[in-house]
Structure 1
Amino acid sequence: MKTTLLLCILSFYHLHAIVAQDYSLHVSESTFTINGTQYIGYETAFTLPYKQVKKQWWRYIKKKAHLFNYKTHYELTISGTNEELPVKFISQMLETESQGALLRLAPTGGDWTTQQVSSLRKDLKVMLVDFKIDYYTGIVQEQIKEQEKENKKTSKSLHRLKNSTSPQADKLKTQLSNGELKLDALKQNLTTIK
């Protein structure tokens, strides 16, 4: 009985941690300085670990642009079509005090009209939102797969004890019930990301 109660409390705590994860798609305008040059662009914050976000940003942007890596930032170039010039922009990832990450993105250089710069900045904002959706969706889908696998394993164990009234069977029923609650919470998180 004590074990079942303890298991329920731990499961509730874990479920609360899953639901409490912040999957905000908020992107705000930002002015920042890198190596003495001021840039006007966008920034967005992540509550997830800095190194994990940085790795995923690198993978994401590597598919879309040519990358030049500096110690403090990336310079990125997206090749233009025959009529368009290549688009260059700068990306900086900072670690926050809470071990999260702050991602900044802004257009650089080029002989752009103010209308073109405005359009380019909007495109960069869309890119940040797209990255966050892609990143968060991947995380939640992985958590859903893990939870489904765990629920299936628990269900098989419970099936082996199907006619038993042992404390082990009660424990497995509680574990399966909590697993289903976690799975529902994860699926709900997936719908809130988009």
Structure 2
Amino acid sequence: MNSMILTKLQNDIEESVDRYKSILAIPRKEESLLQDLELVFKYVKDTPDMHINQFNEKIVEGFGVSFNTARNVRPILERANLLMKTQDSKIKLTAMAENYFKTEEIGYLSKGFIYNYFGFLEFLYLIQKNGPSRRKDLISEWESLYEKEYGKRITTTNITQFSRIYIYLLGLGLIRLNNRKIELNDEHYLSLEKIEYW
């Protein structure tokens, strides 16, 4: 089973092209990333034909963040295939986000992040390859994978990106902690194959 998952991760990495190099953090308000994502989606769901400006204002008010921070939320979720902007600058939920609300299957949220942003699959791959690990044991190898793909960047940027990806993976249930070591939630990762439309 371990080698099958490792092979699948390798294949997913090779087949995932044109991924975004980095990801920004979703503002925090609730106790979990999932609750914060649901809150953002609820804003869109509860206000049909929400304009981008309304969306940004809602994030500023609801999360208590600056306009610049709020303005970044939409592109993060668009790239994860969870929100879309129409030609008339309205914000809508994608089929992936709608399916999440219908089924409560977290894979509809997870899939867009791990396949559209660099570093998510690589993080999972390193955990599977090395076994349960601490973050500090994975960072340099993860950094090497980034450099191989995109070139060198400063260490603090890599640490920030690595930490953000860790928060997303933990919040989306793709990894878990066991005795302070990170493990792959292989059941959740393998269940992503069932998520057909994305």
What's the TM-score bracket when you normalise by the shorter of the two chains? under 0.3
The structure where helix makes up a greater share of residues is 2
Over alpha carbons, which structure has the higher Rg? 1
TM-score by length of 1: 0.27
The structure where strand makes up a greater share of residues is 1
TM-score by length of 2: 0.27
